[in-house]
Amino acid sequence: EDQVTQSPEALRLQEGESSSLNCSYTVSGLRGLFWYRQDPGKGPEFLFTLYSAGEEKEKERLKATLTKKESFLHITAPKPEDSATYLCAVQAGAGGTSYGKLTFGQGTILTVHP
């Protein structure tokens, strides 16, 4: 069974204080690892897809990296508007039968104080 564990559950930062969120996963053949942002009462907003170990992607103050067992979302000099829940999800499929389905972690609630 595919599993995703995110840490920490909650993270409070001061504006400008860089940090990282962790996503550990076990999956039967990784097709892709996804990062989403979710604001309260809203749907997940797509951020990144990573496909293979060593891959990195950047968007504004966010950078996502991937190893064979985990992914990190690095936040550089965060601003209050970066406050949200960040979700990690995996998609199996390389050699498996579960095409399409995303398995989510419980998320990390990020609060950035001005």
Partner 1 sequence: EPEVTQTPSHQVTQMGQEVILRCVPISNHLYFYWYRQILGQKVEFLVSFYNNEISEKSEIFDDQFSVERPDGSNFTLKIRSTKLEDSAMYFCASSGLDRGLNEQYFGPGTRLTVT
Residue numbers at the binding site for partner 1 (CB under 8 A): 31-32, 34, 36, 41-46, 49, 87, 89, 91, 98-107
Pick 21 or 78: Cβ nearer partner 1 = 21
Exposed e or buried b per residue across 21-57, where buried means at least 16 C-beta atoms within 10 angstroms of its C-beta: bebebebeebbbbbbbbbeeeeebeebbbbeeeeeee
- Phi-psi map region of 32: left, alpha, beta (phi>0 left; psi -120 to 50 alpha): beta
Please report how close the Cβ of residue 48 comes to partner 1 at its closest, in angstroms: 9
In the complex, the smallest distance separating the C-beta of residue 82 from partner 1, rounded to whole angstroms, is 19
Amino acid type, 15: E
**Contact (CB, 8 A) for 108 and 9:** yes
Tell me whether residue 42 or residue 69 sits nearer to partner 1 (CB atom).
Answer: 42
Taking the complex as a whole, the smallest distance from the CB of residue 32 to partner 1 amounts, in Å, to 5
Closer to partner 1 at the Cβ: 32 or 78? 32
Please identify, using beta-carbon distances, which residue of 76 and 83 lies nearer to partner 1.
83
